[in-house]
Amino acid sequence: MNSKQLEIYIHIPFCVRKCDYCDFLSMSMDEGTKREYVNALVREIELSKEKMEGRVITSVFIGGGTPSILQENFITKIMEAVKNNCHLSDDAEITIECNPGTVTEAKLNSYKEAGINRISFGLQSANDQELKSIGRIHDFAKFKESYELARKVGFENINVDVMSALPGQTVESYKHTLESVLAMEPEHISAYSLIVEDGTPLQERVQEAESKNINILPDEDEEREMYYLTEKMLEEKGYVHYEISNYGKPGFQCRHNIGYWKRVDYLGFGLGAASLYNDSRYSNTEDIDKYISLLLDGKDADSDFYGDSFIYQDDIWDITEDAISVIEGKIQRLTEKDKKEEFMFLGLRMIEGISKEKFHQAFDRKYDSVYGEVTEKLVQQGLIEVNGDNVRLTKRGVDLSNYAMSQFLL
């Protein structure tokens, strides 16, 4: 890993409405609050200029929420703040998440002019009834319209998100979604299996149905069949399956996410945004009023700007080397144990797996002296395969990845 490499994540927490399955930090807000939020976001980026000095920004990811809900001049302002306060590599991958129905030709043109070179569309399904079942605001026709606009404007790197195991979804209807997306030839497809998160409207519906002995979700066998169908259909069309949930045409793997799985340092800006920087993990406050007021009310960046949880003890924390701006959030100094575990369960998400030698280089410990026993057990269970220096999940291991990765906790 290049120690000078740094990635940026920018969180836009606003949505037209929250989808029924979503537990991300997102909300509806008036235009005045959105304007204040963008001003605060720009201020946070400016205050972090020192932390980005000497680093090369290789990717920027504007996520949410729905970033495309913002006026185009707001996105331009955010991108100007990024360019003015850090060194972007010439070939930096710069992505913005868009929901169908929230983009216009003018917005897409402004994104391109601002330097954004990758669009990620949240389609989820080509079946309008399935979209309604999870509270999406668009239909498939609106997605096609938005996608074609992006092509017309000149975007040559587009991702499409699809989801399996949706309420009422069948293997056949999911196959139709894949066929519909493949016909449009996006450069990248992210294929996720629905997770019913606690406290969401979808969880309430599922539990209510279960109380009546009704299962509104596909069963485990159908879900597994959908996963294998995704792999088969996409690989037949030339997509490379490079991470458990991600497929890209050669040369179009998402560099930002690969950096995340390989533990490249990244700074997160915005409400609730997380960072990994100098072996520590940080996250900002999830209180939007607090976030805005701390950044826009003239707080001193060297005092009140840092949250109450900021650790100053010299024996734990070297403020001059490690400090970054944390907006009343949380900080976790990673131990060697934490870093080894992350190396494994993030690295094993990559289909290529991990390198024993890189583990040795990172931790000055032989891989087998730390994980030899658990690796042998998982090999015997058919979940892991070892080829010389390489350790990776088998197809069965991918199926049971949560269990397999949990075995690498020390």
Cis peptide before 65 (omega within 30 of 0): yes
Structure tokens at 222: 């159908």
Instruction: Note the pLDDT of residue 202.
Output: 67
Q: How far is CA 195 from the centre of its chain?
A: 15
Instruction: Note the pLDDT of residue 320.
Output: 33
Cα four-point dihedral sign 140, 141, 142, 145? positive
Rounded (10°) angle between helices 105-114 and 72-85: 10
Chain segment 311-370, per-residue pLDDT in tens: 322 222 333 334 445 666 788 899 999 999 999 999 999 999 999 999 999 999 999 999
Chain segment 215-245, per-residue pLDDT in tens: 778 898 999 999 999 999 999 999 999 999 9
Instruction: Note the pLDDT of residue 307.
Output: 37
Instruction: Note the pLDDT of residue 308.
Output: 34
pLDDT at 304 exceeding the cut of 60: no
**Average predicted confidence (pLDDT) for the chain:** 89
66-80, 96-110, 130-144, 338-352: the lowest-pLDDT one: 130-144
Instruction: Note the pLDDT of residue 322.
Output: 41
Structure tokens at 376: 């042998």
Chain segment 242-296, per-residue pLDDT in tens: 999 999 999 999 999 999 999 999 999 999 999 999 999 999 999 999 999 999 9
Q: What is the C-alpha separation between 249 and 238, in angstroms, rounded?
A: 6
pLDDT at 199 exceeding the cut of 90: no
pLDDT at 299 exceeding the cut of 70: no
- At 23, the pLDDT band (50, 70, 90 cuts) reads low
Q: What residues pair up with 164 in beta bridges, in sequence order?
A: 193
Strand, helix or coil for residue 393 = strand
pLDDT at 389 exceeding the cut of 80: yes
Q: What is the DSSP string of 211-227?
A: HTT---S--HHHHHHHH
pLDDT at 166 exceeding the cut of 60: yes
Residue 250 exposed, middle or buried by CB count within 10 Å (0-12, 13-18, 19+): exposed
- Which domains does the chain carry? 5-261 (3.20.20.70), 336-406 (1.10.10.920)
Q: How far is CA 176 from the centre of its chain?
A: 26
Q: What is the pTM of this model?
A: 0.89
Q: What is the C-alpha separation between 253 and 243, in angstroms, rounded?
A: 9
Residues 366-394 have a mean pLDDT of 98
Chain segment 10-20, per-residue pLDDT in tens: 999 998 765 65
Q: What is the C-alpha separation between 325 and 277, in angstroms, rounded?
A: 11
Indicate the pairing of strand 87-98 with strand 158-164. unpaired
Residues 85-93 have a mean pLDDT of 98
Cα four-point dihedral sign 233, 235, 240, 244? positive
Instruction: Note the pLDDT of residue 303.
Output: 34
Nearest C-alpha neighbor of 174 from the set 153, 193, 187: 193
Q: What is the C-alpha separation between 123 and 103, in angstroms, rounded?
A: 13
pLDDT at 398 exceeding the cut of 50: yes
Number of DSSP helices (H) and strands (E) in the chain, helices first: 17, 15
Residue 332 or residue 187, greater confidence: 187
Nearest C-alpha neighbor of 138 from the set 151, 121, 150: 121
Q: What is the C-alpha separation between 76 and 79, in angstroms, rounded?
A: 5
pLDDT at 201 exceeding the cut of 80: no
Q: What is the C-alpha separation between 285 and 66, in angstroms, rounded?
A: 19
Q: What is the C-alpha separation between 370 and 144, in angstroms, rounded?
A: 50
CA distances (Å), 290 to each of 7, 296, 328, 338, in order?
A: 25, 10, 8, 30
Q: What is the C-alpha separation between 179 and 160, in angstroms, rounded?
A: 13
Residue 131 exposed, middle or buried by CB count within 10 Å (0-12, 13-18, 19+): buried
Q: Percent of the chain at pLDDT above 70?
A: 87
Q: What is the C-alpha separation between 408 and 345, in angstroms, rounded?
A: 7
40-54, 206-220, 308-322: the lowest-pLDDT one: 308-322
Instruction: Note the pLDDT of residue 28.
Output: 63
DSSP secondary structure code for residue 285 in this structure: -
Nearest C-alpha neighbor of 43 from the set 327, 329, 311: 327
Structure tokens at 118: 């990758």
Instruction: Note the pLDDT of residue 133.
Output: 87
Q: What is the C-alpha separation between 184 and 223, in angstroms, rounded?
A: 24
Strand, helix or coil for residue 378 = helix
Q: Percent of the chain at pLDDT above 90?
A: 76
Instruction: Note the pLDDT of residue 20.
Output: 59
pLDDT at 212 exceeding the cut of 80: no
Q: What residues pair up with 275 in beta bridges, in sequence order?
A: 282
